[in-house]
Amino acid sequence: MPVTAFLVEDNKVIRDNLIPAIESLSAARVEGVAETADDAVAWLISHDGHWDVAVVDLFLRKGSGLNVVERCRDREPHQRVVVLSNYATPEMRRQALLLGADAVFDKSTEIDALIDFLETLNGPH
């Protein structure tokens, strides 16, 4: 069964490239997207318990990905939240992890690590 992913990314070019990469290189299927923190939180609430992983950018068109991460603290035990950002500095990584992120990946250098992480969510093959 595919992993249900939710993508919070405001850059259309990145979104249009990332979704097919995620879907072709992992068992994840992107079931929803949001460009703002408010839209992301609304989607997550309306799909409560029915998503497996949220992939969240830090800097959004409106709001912060850190707010989205923090709002996911009370998620189900099987649900994961990861940050994917061009600003994965040591301080941002620390802050995201403190707010409840399971992992932080740099968009420019760690896409393979994100794909590997998504593959672990599907269980052993």
pLDDT at 125: 42
pLDDT at 101: 98
Q: What is the mean pLDDT of residues 105-120?
A: 96
Q: What is the pTM of this model?
A: 0.95
pLDDT at 107: 95
pLDDT at 123: 61
Q: Flag whether pLDDT at 124 surpasses 80.
A: no
What is the per-residue pLDDT across 12-59, written as a single tens digit (0 to 9) for each? Answer: 999 999 999 999 999 899 999 999 999 999 999 999 889 999 999 999
117: helix, strand or coil: helix
**Torsion of the alpha carbons at 35, 50, 120 and 92, rounded to the nearest 10:** 40
pLDDT at 58: 96
| Full DSSP string of 44-109 | HHHTTTS-SEEEE-SB-SBSBHHHHHHHTTT--TT-EEEEEETT--HHHHHHHHHTT-SEEEETTT
DSSP-H helix ranges across 1-36? 12-25
